[in-house]
Chain A
Amino acid sequence: MADALNGNRSILVVGSGMSGLSAALEAAEAGFQVYMVEKEPYLGGRVARMNKYFPKLCPPNCGLEINFRRIKSNSNIRFFTMAEVTKVEGEAGSFDVTVAMKPRYVNEKCTACGACAEAATTTIPNTFNAGLDTVKAAYLPHEFAYPMRYVVAPQVIGTEEAEKIKAACPFDAIDLGMQEQTFDLKVGAVIWATGWKPYDAEKIPYYGFGKNKNVITNVMMERLASPSGPTGGVIQRPSDGAVVKNIAFIQCAGSRDENHLPYCSSICCLASLKQSTYLLDADPEAKATIFYIDIRALGKYEDFFVKAQANERLTLIKGKAGEITEDPQTGAVTVQVEDQSTGKILKQQFDLVVLATGMVPTASGDKAPAEVAYDDNGFILAEQATSGLIGAGCARRPSDVATSVQDATAAALKAIQATFRR
């Protein structure tokens, strides 16, 4: 018990996506004190925004629910949302950490009754739904949000509306005077589980993302197919809301390309095979085409690939898509591609085109505020000059969910070892 109270034996986990949650829980259930810092107002990171996992096509909320219950029943974990680590100094066994927490404008008295949202009139883009719809300025980030607590958007702070929102709360849970807070922690090891972001598809000019309305990214597709998404799970064309009957997936949109991301993002092949089922399973008439270079379905994932191929409504074409254009009148999207097996140039039309954009480590843009070494692409290296600074999951290399959990569990052990070094 003395150990648990000793800050030097505790572990900081930065990020609470699948890797961060797993690292934190695995360490906490082994008896160590863990702090978890998450920049969003809810835990779960990117997996919370996914519709289904491959290969089981099961909902991510199922595993998240178990993980949140593990947190609720474990007093070793403390977490901070809307918070970011701003400074880490020291060495294994003795790090001084500063955390900055943005104001939520809602305190712990919130019961999630929803009265504040009813009082709000302003709407803001819904980042949870990849900006595909809007939410009220007082909002619950999503239905399964943990902690289940509302947020007041900074956009309305200082307005009359904010006062109305405050007045609507029967529990005095709205605190409009909340300020950014900073506080210090003493920990023995830090796990960077800061995850990934999709490659910016606008950097691939010939795919016309941003210009062509019916060209979306695979991240947007997850929300579009989700029952809790902007369309209630109906896959529609963004341009006119028409139901999608014929969809295409463009693999390696940015990945395996020296002008963009030289590495393979590891998950996009399976993600597109999975996403094709979103449409094919929902609509017995619908068709899907995947343009690919290699289908990288490793290990038992091969079964998922074989099963997908058995569907006659799925066409696989080996070839890297060249240009994508959209007819402004009809909204139809044309994909031009050289079929590598025949050498022919194909031009095919679709209702919706999904770019399988690759994975970029979050840290490639926002470097960790610590002496952490990266490779050229921003992935955290396994070997660090300062032991006790440990990368996990997609912050370290592109990985799927199960591999991220595996990596995070290993990172938790490394962190535990680091807390001994003193």
Chain B
Amino acid sequence: MEKKMGVYICTGCGIGDALDVEALAKVASGEFKAPVCKQHPFLCSPEGVAAIKADIDGDGVNAVVIAACSNRVMADVFNFGPDKLVERVNLREQVIWSHPANDEDTQMMAEDQLRMGCTKMNDMQPPEPFQGENLSKRILVVGGGITGITAAKEAAKAGYETVLVEKSDQLGGYMKNVFKLPPTQPPYDEIKETGLEAMVEELNGLSGAKVYTNAQVAKISGAPCMFDVEIQQNGNTATERVGAIVLATGSEPYDASKLTNYGYGSLPDVIAAPQLEAMFKSGSVTRPSNGETVGSAAFILCAGSRDPEHLPYCSAACCVESLKQAKYFKDENPSTPVYIFYKDIRANGNYELLYKQLQKDGVTFVRGTVTGIEDDGSGAMVVSAEDVLTGSPIMSESVDLVVLATGMVPTSALGEPYKAQAPKEGEEKAETPADTILVSNLLNLQYRQGPEVPGLKYGYPDSHFVCFPYESRRTGIYPAGSVRAPMDYGRCAVDAAGAALKAIQCVELTSQGKAVHPRAGDMSYPEFFMQRCTQCKRCTEECPFGAINEDEKGNPLPNPTRCRRCGVCMGACPERIISFKNYSVGMIGNVIKSINVPDEYDEKPRIVVLACENDAYPALDMAGIRRLSYNPWVRIIPVRCLGSMNLVWIADALSKGIDGILLLGCKHGDDYQCHFVKGSELANIRMTKVQETLNRLVLEADRVRLEQLSITDYTKLPELLDSFSERLAELGPNPYKGY
């Protein structure tokens, strides 16, 4: 696009009082030859905006540089439509609110920030949305239990065609063998019917809902809106094109045969909770040993859960499930003795009322760790336990049946680890820690990084984000129900509906060429200049979302609709061949080069700050809002994610005479906060490579520093920025100044 730049400098909010605005204007009109350069005392007012619009309409301005407040504010005011480029230069929060007025150094900072903004504008093009071919808005649901049925049903009821694939011959999953459900309606103290038949009937009656039973997803290739799914059913292969996927393959009960310490396998009347459920469902509840009716029962909670030897996590549903099963016995015969051995009764929310009811019903609750289950000689069993805190022994009366409340294991955790492609001879070994991907035969994705959604702790393909629980590491694939996290029936159904909406959202945004979360609506996407590709595979290995496939020669095969637009690939590429229309290695390199670097005798050091736009940049704004002051040597450049940092920027900065570079990214490690999962961690790994650049230039390692900063760490910023500046002062000026 042929650009006509208009630069608008706001003099309100104290900007005009603190800065020499005429000198600023000369930067725009002189150095950058902006054909239009204006000042306004109140740019965000209707008059100010009207003045800009008049230039757009009358004068053909289509590239608007606003030198005023932070882009975090007035975003709607300075939006002139998708075909007009807008760049914000933050003079208020990050210049005048944090630095003294009418000061030479503050002025130089403002002028540099304007130079950087104009340079960015010069290198920017409006994004053109990616348009794939033969786009589908259908939703694939894998798994036909309560979660899968609900997801398919709810999506269909919102007007979207669905395809459900279930491995067994009937829908229902675990629910098929469930007798009744815990309460979800007032008064919350009675168990209720499952309603499974009605659910299946409703799904079968929906016109847009297609169901494959006895079927398995053999292969999924492609990307959101363009997934091609191969389904094997009774020896035949069907293919379906879908737009997004809900993974609802559920969980398996923990293998009770591993619980020999509870007598499972050796004592015939020790059974697992699913067996008891099936007994009630069939109407015949008898002791396996002799077929006689059960006159008394003991439940052992956390059988395999909350146990480092088995499942370290809590399976979330078993307490209430056992309360429900105890209720089966009590409803049948109130005088049946029932014992529940527990660590904590986790009857959250209104399930507390069911717990209360069972206390009233006369169930004996024993808080203790079960130490043994033994035959009492008469064919019944005695459960002995140890009090959790005091260690004093407890023993039950003899019982006919012992029920182990086994926990749940996600189907995603069942499988061997995927072996990533070994590096070929002469190739560098991957430095990026690979995601955990198990070959669990659920989706069989034709993805370079592996065939399933990466698992987090304990193999759950969950989201690590508290605020965004549906964000798996594979775009357009939303795990729901007990495969995503341990949960009960009620939560599975809610989770399914939520995942169905995320899938719908994905197909709606993707079909318009827009990104999904967290850059929802972004129409830029990375383009690869393949002639210069050296097949180093860094982009394909490092993409946190597995968006890029590879051909046999190692050339990247991008899938724009899998892309989240973080720019990690752009940062990874040593050949700098990956660019967005409005964000590129060259652009940020030029922004760095546009900084005015005084010579060493001026004693005015320069520090480039590459700040994550999600957290570090707002924190810098907050420092301004609080009027916290820090050194005027810093020049702040927001980046989409610190993972988009390309090492050439460091070389660019240092060879230009910039004294130091500070990288501000989100927390990485176990409790990472990076919105693009691995961006800040990858930047940290790349730091080891920085050393090579520094050695080559014969510069000190301390000139480049990476800090993890959260959005609320703004009070620490002045100290952080100033201590870096002090360290640079000790090192002395960068000897490359003036070259």
Note all chain A residues with C-beta closer than 8 A to B495.
406, 410
Name the one of B351, B388, B458 contacting A341, with C-beta atoms under 8 angstroms.
Answer: B388
Does A30 lie within 8 Å of B186, measured CB to CB? no
State whether the Cβ of A416 lies closer than 8 Å to any Cβ in chain B: yes
Knowing A263-B349, A302-B306 are in contact, say whether A29-B468 is a contact too (CB < 8 A). Answer: no
Does B673 lie within 8 Å of A170, measured CB to CB? no
Name the one of B313, B347, B466 contacting A402, with C-beta atoms under 8 angstroms.
Answer: B466
Q: How far is the CA of A265 from the CA of B465 in the complex (A)?
A: 22
CB distance from B476 to the nearest CB of A (A): 14
Give the segment of A62-70, A94-102, A205-213, A322-330 that binds chain B.
A62-70
Does A29 lie within 8 Å of B505, measured CB to CB? yes
Does A65 lie within 8 Å of B466, measured CB to CB? no
Name the one of B494, B497, B675 contacting A66, with C-beta atoms under 8 angstroms.
Answer: B675
Knowing A58-B667, A302-B314 are in contact, say whether A401-B42 is a contact too (CB < 8 A). Answer: no
Knowing A57-B671, A381-B185, A416-B501 are in contact, say whether A403-B491 is a contact too (CB < 8 A). Answer: yes
Does B158 lie within 8 Å of A420, measured CB to CB? yes
Note all chain B residues with C-beta closer than 8 A to A342.
389-390
Q: In residues 304-355 of chain A, which contact B (Cβ within 8 Å)?
A: 306, 318, 341-342
Q: In residues 130-175 of chain B, which contact A (Cβ within 8 Å)?
A: 154-155, 157-159
Measured CB to CB, the nearest residue on chain B to A61 is B711
Does B467 lie within 8 Å of A70, measured CB to CB? no
Measured CB to CB, the nearest residue on chain B to A52 is B712
Give the segment of B68-76, B221-229, B542-550, B689-697 that binds chain A.
B68-76
State whether the Cβ of A38 lies closer than 8 Å to any Cβ in chain B: no
Note all chain A residues with C-beta closer than 8 A to B485.
299-300
State whether the Cβ of B295 lies closer than 8 Å to any Cβ in chain A: no
In the complex, per-residue mask of A6-43: 1 if CB is within 8 Å of any chain B CB, else 0:
00000000000010000000110111000000000000
Note all chain A residues with C-beta closer than 8 A to B214.
none
Knowing A298-B316, A402-B469 are in contact, say whether A70-B497 is a contact too (CB < 8 A). Answer: no
Looking at B353, B614, B712, the one whose CB has the most chain A CB atoms below 10 A away is B712
Does B521 lie within 8 Å of A413, measured CB to CB? no
Q: How many residues of A contact B (CB 8 A)?
A: 82
Does A299 lie within 8 Å of B350, measured CB to CB? no
Note all chain B residues with C-beta closer than 8 A to A58.
466, 667, 671, 673, 710
Measured CB to CB, the nearest residue on chain A to B505 is A30
In the complex, per-residue mask of B175-200: 1 if CB is within 8 Å of any chain A CB, else 0:
00000000011111000000000000
Q: In residues 30-88 of chain B, which contact A (Cβ within 8 Å)?
A: 42, 44-45, 69, 72-76
State whether the Cβ of B583 lies closer than 8 Å to any Cβ in chain A: no
Note all chain A residues with C-beta closer than 8 A to B715.
227, 232
Give the segment of A107-115, A150-158, A194-202 that binds chain B.
A107-115
Knowing A113-B14, A412-B501 are in contact, say whether A300-B520 is a contact too (CB < 8 A). Answer: no
Q: How far is the CA of A228 from the CA of B623 in the complex (A)?
A: 12
Q: How far is the CA of A298 from the CA of B312 in the complex (A)?
A: 12
Name the one of B45, B186, B494, B509 contacting A406, with C-beta atoms under 8 angstroms.
Answer: B494
Does B520 lie within 8 Å of A74, measured CB to CB? yes
Measured CB to CB, the nearest residue on chain A to B462 is A300
Note all chain B residues with C-beta closer than 8 A to A408.
498
Name the one of B44, B72, B464, B517 contacting A111, with C-beta atoms under 8 angstroms.
Answer: B44
State whether the Cβ of B622 lies closer than 8 Å to any Cβ in chain A: yes
Note all chain A residues with C-beta closer than 8 A to B719.
none
Q: How far is the CA of A145 from the CA of B353 in the complex (A)?
A: 39
Q: What are 6 A-B pairs at a CB distance below 8 A?
A: A18-B467, A59-B711, A62-B673, A171-B42, A264-B349, A405-B469
9 closest residue pairs by CB, A with B: A63-B467, A409-B498, A410-B497, A341-B389, A294-B344, A413-B501, A302-B314, A264-B352, A59-B712
Interface on B for A, CB 8 Å cutoff? Answer: 12-14, 42, 44-45, 69, 72-76, 154-155, 157-159, 184-188, 306, 312-316, 344-353, 356, 367, 387-390, 457-458, 460, 462, 464-470, 485-487, 491, 494-502, 504-505, 508-509, 516-518, 520-521, 614-615, 618, 622, 625-626, 666-667, 671, 673, 675, 710-712, 715
